Structure 1
Amino acid sequence: MTFSTKAKALVIAGLIAVSTATPAHAVDLQGSGASFVDPLLQACKAGFAKASGHSYVYTSTGSGTGKKNADAKIGDFWFSDSAHTATTKRSTVFHAPIVAAPIAVLVNLPAKKELFLSSTTVAKIFAGEITKWNDPAIVADNNRSIPTVVYRKDKDGNAAKDASGNPIVLRSGTKSVIYTLPNQPIKVIFRSDGSGTSNNFTKWLNGTSPTIWTKPANDAFTTAFPGNINAAGNIGRIVGANQSQGVATLAAKTKYSITYAEKNWGDAYGLRAAQISNPSGNFVGPDSGATSAFLGEATQDANGIVSYDYATKVAGAYTLGIISYMLIETEYADKTRGAAVKALAEYILSPACSAVDPKLGFTVVSGTFLTKANAQIAKMNK
């Protein structure tokens, strides 16, 4: 599959307000769930209203609430960054994987330098095993010769592929990095709400460093935490905040902190995204080509649920790319309302939404993966 790069940034209220002169909408939809997709959905409101005559309100409550609202039929559509596989899921609800982007490991450090972290080092930091910024493992990651890979990109910003479907390397090389890390405690900030971002992040930690992060993924970071998060050394040093904006806000206020969120939240709050190692030994940042190269190795089952290949040897893959699912109905009692939700799903996949703002940074599914996503959407409103 391929992914097209699209912009992603915080959208202020004034940009999403609907003019009082706007005529009444045919259908007013209600949605809720993952904060991951909120900037894109807010940015696409006006365009969707103009194209379809419908409107929607989306409440960013976290993936856990999105799943619960889907179970309880609260609203018309829901988003979750993790698959809804609980027994509470109604049989008429299914997954449409329609939005993608990287999760970034974001840091608040005084020096405006690139930070390099191996996946093992990241796991040890979030597991509470590494507690100081000048720990030997972090020093080793940041004082060395670093392999680099840059992909050729297609017109959409994807990693261009050769005839065999492999990403085309534009150039590769090495660079020497030197970074004197501060002798300061690391302040770890995690998502305290039920979060698909936490689910994907802890899945990545377990998938890339299973001997460190020994517990399976969970929407609750504290449940997935491999040790005792209430141990004396963790209290006050490992703390939680609600939603992506919450962790970014707290990290921006907290010197020497580290957190995880979509890269746009880091851009908005002045946090730097770390370069993360992949199985080929390269350190890669959360950019479009690297994210699409990783997601291109993923598979999708008949239910639309995506499986990631954390062991991929694609040289420039950024292995923290994720998919967000729209949870939608196969059967709507109100067929007019169901048709409006289907139109919204199609609009989110279209260039009219995905290219709405060149500063946003979303990676929206395209190519063969888009074909599969559309096949899921086609099941709606029967």
Structure 2
Amino acid sequence: MPTLRRAVVGRAALAALAALLMSMAGLAQSQINPGMPLYQLHGSGTSNPALLIWRVMDTMMAPTKPKIAMSYRSMGSGAGGDEFTALNSSAFSCGDVPISPTNFNRALQQNNPMMHVPFLVGSVSIFHNIPGIGEGLYLPPCTLAKMFRGEISQWNHPEIVTNNTHLPDLAKITASIGIVHRNNGSSSTYALTHYLNKACPGEWSGKGQGVGVTISWTSIPAARRTMVTNSQTMVEQIATNPYSLGYVESGQGLLAVQIATFLKHLALFFFKCNIALHLIEHPDLVKACKAVGITPPSRKKLAYTVLDEAYSEVSKDGLLSSNAVMFLSFAWCGRDAKNQWPLTLGTYFYVRTNLAYLNETGGLLKLFLSYMLSDDVAAIMPEYSFTALPKKHVFALPLGASMLNLPLSPKATPPPIKRAALQ
């Protein structure tokens, strides 16, 4: 059985982390929720790195419960920025695009400017769910642009079929294309629309389509489009709705592909072993085996053997094997420049330059950010199809080092901040 979650750090590092967290005293005034533990840290923002952030938070909370509670709401870069500056309901936010000028200026007007702390590079990919069509679907940029603005509405459209002669079954698929798109303020929409406009401007902005984190999707009939609020629901929507097409952070889409492939192999192996699983502990069989000196395995052991064999097949076939039945598959965005991916985003934390107003939550935020920028977390980023940003680039930001070196004391005052350094 594959282990989907690995420990981020060793026991000694976790023990040290727990000691630091538990050494804080007092209440985190602006973050406290009476129904939750004593020390709390809550953030919100882009859904792309949400799985990684949740894993890191789980690791930090594991040795410190019930004193520590940390949460991250997966809602989109734009909405997270609004919560961070306008509503002040989160101690930090996270986005795959720079925060909007409106929110940046709002933070300045509140006499507590904010800064961007970059920490990883990720990508957005386009996924489809066409029953019977696995990997190998080729959709040129101009074709994709026509699909995402509604001009091409069926999977057997001549333009799609002509570019996929290696997939003859496409011509028989008369189903409509269901477009799944993100809510307003999505960095994934930013990546998709910038790519389509750069690659085929005549079929995107030339046709009146917008570019950015928020665009209008009304050119697609309402019956053929579905809006989702984060990357997790995007994956779910594509996976559960045949003939759909959408876009999502690559790692989360690929994880869904891997799980689907594993379940397919698992089903095959269980089918092969179905009779054995039902009979393995039958009294007559056990008695017959013992008579000849054989001890049959338990149902549990046999089941684990089946799981191991299924996982072995996934590893042997490869993630995108031509033999695998994919519920979610890549749609190529170009035949050239195979070592490059055009839908690439850098991800930032949005944080205030002065964390003293958060009291002990400020100290907890500092620990969280330091941990997210550590080698331990960088080591697991490839599991989510992310690349850690080199530290020399992280700490080269104005104020980056001074903010991360803030002492834990809630009464500590950071070095004076020059407004010009933030622009």
Aligned partner of 2:89: which letter? I
Offset at 1:127? 0.9
Larger of the two Rg values belongs to structure: 2
Asked if 1:127 is matched to 2:184, the reply is: no
Gaps of 5+ in 1: 1-8, 12-17, 144-176, 283-313
Offset at 1:83? 1.8
| Partner of residue 88, structure 1 | 103
Structure 1 contact 48–55 (Cα < 8 Å) conserved = no
Counterpart among 84, 88, 111 of residue 70 in structure 1: 84
| Partner of residue 219, structure 1 | 213
| Partner of residue 321, structure 1 | 344
Aligned partner of 2:240: which letter? K
Instruction: Name the SS for the 1:219 alignment partner.
Output: coil
Q: Residues 132 and 372 from structure 1, CA distance in 2 versus in 1: closer, same or farther, beyond 3 angstroms?
A: farther
Residues matched between the structures, number? 290
Counterpart among 383, 387, 390 of residue 366 in structure 1: 390
Aligned partner of 1:276: which letter? C
Q: For the residues of structure 1 that align with 2:180 and 2:98, how far apart are their CA atoms?
A: 24
Offset at 1:339? 4.2
Structure 2 contact 46–96 (Cα < 8 Å) conserved = yes
| Partner of residue 356, structure 2 | 333
What does 1:273-284 correspond to in 2, within 5 Å?
273-277=330-334, 281-282=335-336
* Structure number with higher helix proportion: 2
Dislocated runs of 4+, deviation >3 Å: 22-27, 46-55, 177-180, 334-340, 356-359, 367-373
Q: Residues 203 and 246 from structure 1, CA distance in 2 versus in 1: closer, same or farther, beyond 3 angstroms?
A: same
| Partner of residue 79, structure 1 | 94
Q: For the residues of structure 2 that align with 1:259 and 1:126, how far apart are their CA atoms?
A: 9
| Partner of residue 186, structure 1 | 177
Structure 1 contact 37–99 (Cα < 8 Å) conserved = no
Asked if 1:246 is matched to 2:233, the reply is: yes
Instruction: Name the SS for the 1:87 alignment partner.
Output: helix
Offset at 1:315? 5.2
What does 1:99-110 correspond to in 2, within 5 Å?
99-110=120-131
Q: Residues 346 and 207 from structure 1, CA distance in 2 versus in 1: closer, same or farther, beyond 3 angstroms?
A: farther
Q: For the residues of structure 2 that align with 1:62 and 1:10, how far apart are their CA atoms?
A: 24
Q: Residues 379 and 216 from structure 1, CA distance in 2 versus in 1: closer, same or farther, beyond 3 angstroms?
A: farther
Offset at 1:247? 2.0
Q: For the residues of structure 2 that align with 1:317 and 1:50, how far apart are their CA atoms?
A: 38
Q: For the residues of structure 2 that align with 1:218 and 1:40, how far apart are their CA atoms?
A: 25
- Identity among equivalent positions (%) equals 24
Offset at 1:187? 1.0
| Partner of residue 198, structure 1 | 189
Q: For the residues of structure 1 that align with 2:5 and 2:232, how far apart are their CA atoms?
A: 9
Structure 2 contact 123–249 (Cα < 8 Å) conserved = yes
Q: Deviations over 1:335-358 (max 9, x none)?
A: 654343233223212231233476
Offset at 1:326? 0.8
Q: Residues 345 and 377 from structure 1, CA distance in 2 versus in 1: closer, same or farther, beyond 3 angstroms?
A: farther
Asked if 1:229 is matched to 2:219, the reply is: yes
| Partner of residue 401, structure 2 | 378
Q: Deviations over 1:200-242 (max 9, x none)?
A: 22222222222211144232242xx4xx436xxx220122122
RMSD over aligned CA atoms reads 3.1
Q: Deviations over 1:239-298 (max 9, x none)?
A: 212211222212112111100111233232641121221xxx51xxxxxxxxxxxxxxxx
Offset at 1:37? 1.4
Q: For the residues of structure 2 that align with 1:10 and 1:48, how far apart are their CA atoms?
A: 14
Q: For the residues of structure 2 that align with 1:136 and 1:369, how far apart are their CA atoms?
A: 47
| Partner of residue 140, structure 2 | 118
Instruction: Name the SS for the 1:355 alignment partner.
Output: helix
Gaps of 5+ in 2: 7-13, 25-38, 258-326, 407-413, 415-423
Q: Residues 209 and 355 from structure 1, CA distance in 2 versus in 1: closer, same or farther, beyond 3 angstroms?
A: same
Q: For the residues of structure 2 that align with 1:117 and 1:379, how far apart are their CA atoms?
A: 47
* Structure number with higher strand proportion: 1
| Partner of residue 159, structure 2 | 137
Q: Residues 10 and 275 from structure 1, CA distance in 2 versus in 1: closer, same or farther, beyond 3 angstroms?
A: farther
Aligned partner of 2:192: which letter? F
Q: Deviations over 1:152-184 (max 9, x none)?
A: xxxxxxxxxxxxxxxxxxxxxxxxx44541232
Instruction: Name the SS for the 2:180 alignment partner.
Output: strand
Deviates more, 1:248-257 or 1:84-93: 84-93
Structure 1 contact 62–243 (Cα < 8 Å) conserved = yes
Instruction: Name the SS for the 2:364 alignment partner.
Output: helix
Offset at 1:190? 0.6
Q: For the residues of structure 2 that align with 1:198 and 1:379, how far apart are their CA atoms?
A: 33
Aligned partner of 2:176: which letter? P
Q: Residues 275 and 315 from structure 1, CA distance in 2 versus in 1: closer, same or farther, beyond 3 angstroms?
A: closer
Asked if 1:42 is matched to 2:54, the reply is: yes
